[in-house]
Structure 1
Amino acid sequence: MHTAWEEAGWERLGDGVARRRMPGWDETIGVVAGSAGVLIIDTGATLRDGADLRRSIRGVLGRDVTHVALTHPHFDHVMGTAAFSGVQVFGAAGLDELLRREQDGLRRDAVGHGVDPVAAAEAADILVSPHHLVHGELTLDLGDRQVLLANVGPGHTAHDLAVLVPGRHGSPEIVFCGDLVEESGAPSVGPDALPHQWPAALDRLLALGGEDARYVPGHGAVVDARFVRDQRAALAARFGTSPG
């Protein structure tokens, strides 16, 4: 029997926790619902994506998103944020300055990856920077549940944020990894990546979630700790690790 989440096109991961793999770039969007708040993790590549996500979540829960967590500053994860007006936005320390500085770069990257130029320009013009910056770890109170935001980077970018959702009723913890972990292909190592520091970021991610957690990649199927360790080993073999 399908749940309301599944009927609305989401994959249910646990009690009040779901995710959607978006069309086009296959980026994962997460949602965590508590009694007093609703967190969305990343917002899609365009304002239309953001608006569709907001409408879909409201349709399932009967209430609006109250918090946004941005896992890293790539167009397919942040360009829909302005669709969530009045919502508190969280990101890794330094993400605010980077998004203000790189609006045009994000627009060009989005267009280069196939986003309609008008839609890309519209989203970039009103790009939302985080209101709250996470330097180490920050606990977000959603009422009957608390979610941990952790600045575990740098790695995929200089501003990688993970989201830990504690398990309920014996269910495993869920870790939204952003693009620090990718299952549908090899990790994307772009010009803003810090590959020598990436293995250490995955060590921090594994310490955060533990051996029994479910790890939700930025792209691809949900994985386990062994997959994350294997990806860490592959990155270390390819790039080495930074001293210390």
Structure 2
Amino acid sequence: MGTDWVEVGDRCWVRRYSPWDVSSGVVAGDDGLLVIDTRADVAQGRELAVHVRALSSLPVLAVMNTHAHFDHLGGNAAFPGCPVVAHAAVPLALERGAPEPEAPLSTEEKVPPDTVFAHRWDLDLGGREVQATHLGRGHTDGDAVLLVPDADVVYAGDLVEQSGPPSFGPDCWPLEWGPTLERLASMLDPVTNVVPGHGDVVDVDFVAQQARDVTQVAEHLRLLVAAHVPEADALSRGPWPFPVEGLAVAVHRGYRHLGAGHAGHPG
């Protein structure tokens, strides 16, 4: 799957790429561009850079990674000289090593962010301010969303997924993801366009429903733990809002987080 650039708001574009149906974004101001998520490897990043240059002759002022997974930052090296921005947890995750078995980041491809923030980062693109913000843990511990207030567009990374159920991977925080999505939904209005990490552009109703569904996973995990249901039996003790084949890691992580008091990096 591959698409052309789609303008989802004034000078805000998204382009979907195979494999993994990952979305990369570009936001333009009067002085330059911000590129959001650089795809899975250097070759893909270079292709993205060519596509960005075909979109606009303005310079790329910065690159933003929405989180630490390989399919969103493997192409960072294709933008030499550009600040790479992400939440402060992202370079730490890269130092620990990607938890995803399919993550093929080479030394060349493992270009960590050099500009990090804990809560918020602002950029003036020339006549347009954008903000990256960390609303809490969810898909990972370093999820960040990019807000373009004057266009009513949000790039949400994998906090929001449309092409399939939310991806509960080995570094997810299933007990905290729902509240993080609720905070995101509270910032949106009925006309906001939300660009998910994978899939079609969605709206506040979609985000609010995904928040409810992810919260249901957390609530059900708490009920199972309180009832002393063994982890091995949890998936058979529904109801679950998503297909059970995608929830094994959510159960494992949820059980560990509850047992560890929501702290640290449980296995």
Scaled by the length of structure 2, the TM-score of the pair is 0.77
RMSD: 2.1
Name which one, 1 or 2, has greater alpha-carbon Rg.
2
Output the CA distance in 2 between the equivalents of 1:93 and 1:62: 30
Q: Hey, what does 1:199 align to over in structure 2? A: 178
2:62 matched to 1:79? Answer: no
**Alignment partner, residue 61 of structure 2:** 66
How far residue 126 of structure 1 moved from its aligned partner, in angstroms, is 4.1
SS at the partner of 2:55? helix
**2:68/2:91 contact within 8 Å kept:** no
* d(CA) in 2 for partners of 1:156, 1:14: 25
Aligned match of 1:228 in 207, 210, 216? 207
Which residue of structure 2 aligns with residue 18 of structure 1? 13
In structure 1, the residue matched to 2:30 is: 35
- Which of 112, 118, 127 aligns to 1:129? It is 112
The equivalent residue for 2:102 is: 109
| Correspondence for 1:176 among 150, 155, 161 | 155
2:133 aligns with 150
In structure 2, what is the Cα distance between the partners aligned to 1:146 and 1:39? 11
In the TM superposition, structure 1's runs of 4+ consecutive aligned residues that sit over 4 Å from their partners are: 241-244
5+ residue gaps, structure 1? 1-7, 112-119
In the TM superposition, what whole-angstrom CA distance separates every residue of 1:80-131 from its partner, at most 9, and x where no partner exists? Answer: 111110001110122122213316x56x4225xxxxxxxx43xx43411111
- Counting matched residue pairs gives 221
1:96 aligns to what SS in structure 2? helix
Asked if the contact 2:64–2:85 (Cα under 8 Å) also holds between the matched residues in 1, the reply is: yes
Q: Distance in 2 between matches of 1:233 and 1:31?
A: 30
What's 2:147 paired with? Answer: 164
One-letter amino acid of the structure 2 residue matched with residue 39 of structure 1: L
1:157 partner letter: T
1:205 offset after TM fit, Å? 1.2
1:160-208 C-alpha deviation (Å, 9 max, x unpaired): 000001234xxxx111110111111100001100010001110221233
Q: Does 1:138 align with 2:121?
A: yes
Structure 2, unaligned stretches of length 5 or more? 223-257, 263-267
Partner SS, residue 215 of structure 2: helix
SS of the residue 1:125 aligns to: coil
Letter matched to residue 46 of structure 1: D
Q: Which residue of 2 aligns with 1:186?
A: 165
TM-score calculated relative to the size of structure 1: 0.84
